[in-house]
Structure 1
Amino acid sequence: MPLAHLDCRPFAAFCQGHHAHACSIPVDELPSRMHELPKTSEPLTVYANADTLQTANAFLTSKGYQVVQAIEWTLPLAASLQAAGLWQNGAQSQRLWQPAPLIARFVTEFMPAYQIQPGQGLDIGCGAGRDMVYLTMHGWQMTGIDYIPGALQRAQQLASSQHVTVTTLQRDLETGQDPFSEFADGQFALITVARYLHRPLFPWLQRLLKPGGILIYQTFMQGAEQFGSPRNPNFLLKPGELAQVFAHTDILLDTVETLDDGRPVSAFICRQVAGCP
């Protein structure tokens, strides 16, 4: 597995010169930018100044990351990177984070296979925004909805770092009222939901999808409670539940995947057919 390079020096110092494959996250910004890091199973090489190297290393280790190299930034190190052709200056920071695997698979596999063209998309429970930012990077015009203002702020920061624009809305989706009243019927060509389940939303999702529009739904299945949260059955899908709810659609994928920690999650993609809902 290749190393991910993380530069924890101040951004101004990063711009003056850095490892060509490094991502810039200053040490004091690490707690608020965890969503920009790779999975904890991916080993890290960390660069920092002498006075912050131990702090960066300790923080990342406490979060479960494998810091295989913690390297103090020095002039000899800069010279060695230059000699090896691994030197770069400027603000270009490498992306270490990834979207959900199902989202990446949709972009690389399903979009070309089914000739799906990017359009307006809606990410429900978008969190820190990795999925919708990734989709925006691939042509989609994404709107993200979440209840937590801090998550929406991180989503906007992530979009800015990738030089794309997303729309974010703070919304309580569980009031019993239509939380999508400002959106027109059939407005969206894509709706994504990840790790969030509120069954009363299902009819509204069907209303919002345009004919030919895609729904991607990935959340926890029954059995996940054996490995951790969620344990509330209201937040766990039953086998075949999505296929039954969206039986009137063209189901492109309906399977169960397993996270690294053993929890089963749905991998469900369907396409709205003409005349529905």
Structure 2
Amino acid sequence: MPSISQSTSSGVLASIDCRSEEAFLAGHKAGAISIPAPELFARMHELPMRSEPLALWVDASTQAQAQAFLTDKGYRIIQTMLWTETLAQQLALNNQLETGAARTYLWQPAPLIEHFVKDIMPRYQIQAGQGLDIGCGAGRDLVYLAKHGWQMTGIDHLSGALQRTQDLAVHNQVTVTTLQIDLETADNPLANLPAHSFDLIYGVRYLHRPLFPAMQKLLQSKGVFLYQTFMEGCELLGGPRNPKFLLKQGELASLFHPATILVDDIIYLNDGRPMSAFIALMPDSVQPHIPSLWLI
């Protein structure tokens, strides 16, 4: 299995255009994304990792705000370009001027989600279908899957998180469904969803064990269950410390027997905390994958 890393640095500066959306649509540096300076705080989930150096594209009204905010958040700004008509003409002459919506993004999904799309789906000939994100947060994983053909539904109890998810979907030209549900106050908060209606169900950095039986019932035959969350051992390295938020080694394989286990590994954050990397195919079409060890 190929190594998985959360760093996508390619030696090319991550370009963020902090002018207004209207100005961006009228013309921008090829490869740049649009996050107007006043929206930076609300759209931090669209920024790259702090280790990625930035190039900013600004005008006189946005330069100070953008530079101050990103510097304060720990980003390293290598280049700041003040947008002028002359600059636009130079970009056009070099075939570096684009118009319309951004054609790229700088944020990243969870490593296991990316591995699933790029490696597991083609290896086991898994076709995109209906997907469910349990505890979707700001929606990066859900939107990433939608960009790769999945028809995605995301659940969270926070209306603000669901709004960020919808905004991220709009910025990335995909459509997703969001549901505001408190997943921890009812015997089966997923009861209103039709049984066997999803081809993929997953959770990332979220654990509420009473949901597992309900999630199994929602999966179609040959549906995929994917989970990446904190494991026992994190309590020794900063948290979470509560056992109810920490998976035990082998716990998911036992719970989802007799599903075919495609991945059952432990991966590690940069600070050493262990996380699950678990992908299972509900009975029964492919041979199990031999586990390996990843470092992220």
Instruction: Give the length in aligned residue pairs.
Output: 274
Give SS of 2:40's match: helix
| Residue of structure 1 equivalent to 2:184 | 174
Distance 1:121 1:91, change over 3 A: closer
Give SS of 1:248's match: coil
| Residue of structure 2 equivalent to 1:30 | 40
C-alpha deviation, 1:93, in angstroms = 4.8
| Residue of structure 2 equivalent to 1:265 | 275
Separation of aligned partners in 1, 2:41 and 2:281: 38
| Residue of structure 2 equivalent to 1:90 | 100
Separation of aligned partners in 2, 1:18 and 1:117: 35
With normalisation by structure 2, the TM-score equals: 0.88
Separation of aligned partners in 2, 1:136 and 1:17: 27
Separation of aligned partners in 1, 2:174 and 2:25: 21
Separation of aligned partners in 2, 1:261 and 1:54: 33
C-alpha deviation, 1:194, in angstroms = 0.3
**Equivalent residue for 2:72, pick from 62, 65, 80:** 62
**Equivalent residue for 1:238, pick from 248, 253, 267:** 248
| Residue of structure 2 equivalent to 1:14 | 24
Separation of aligned partners in 1, 2:21 and 2:103: 10
Letter in 1 for 2:119: E
With normalisation by structure 1, the TM-score equals: 0.94
**Equivalent residue for 1:216, pick from 217, 226, 241:** 226
Give SS of 1:177's match: coil
Given that residues 24 and 93 in structure 1 are in contact (C-alpha distance below 8 angstroms), is that contact kept between their aligned partners in structure 2?
no
Give SS of 1:211's match: strand
Given that residues 123 and 142 in structure 1 are in contact (C-alpha distance below 8 angstroms), is that contact kept between their aligned partners in structure 2?
yes
Given that residues 143 and 174 in structure 2 are in contact (C-alpha distance below 8 angstroms), is that contact kept between their aligned partners in structure 1?
yes
Give SS of 2:182's match: coil
Is it true that 1:124 corresponds to 2:134 in the alignment? Answer: yes
Is it true that 1:44 corresponds to 2:58 in the alignment? Answer: no
Separation of aligned partners in 2, 1:178 and 1:258: 32
Is it true that 1:105 corresponds to 2:115 in the alignment? Answer: yes
Given that residues 31 and 102 in structure 2 are in contact (C-alpha distance below 8 angstroms), is that contact kept between their aligned partners in structure 1?
no
Give SS of 1:268's match: strand
Given that residues 221 and 238 in structure 1 are in contact (C-alpha distance below 8 angstroms), is that contact kept between their aligned partners in structure 2?
yes
| Residue of structure 1 equivalent to 2:91 | 81
Alignment identity in percent? 56
C-alpha deviation, 1:263, in angstroms = 2.1
Give the gaps of 5 or more residues in structure 2.
1-10, 285-296
| Residue of structure 2 equivalent to 1:198 | 208
Letter in 1 for 2:173: H
Separation of aligned partners in 1, 2:233 and 2:117: 29
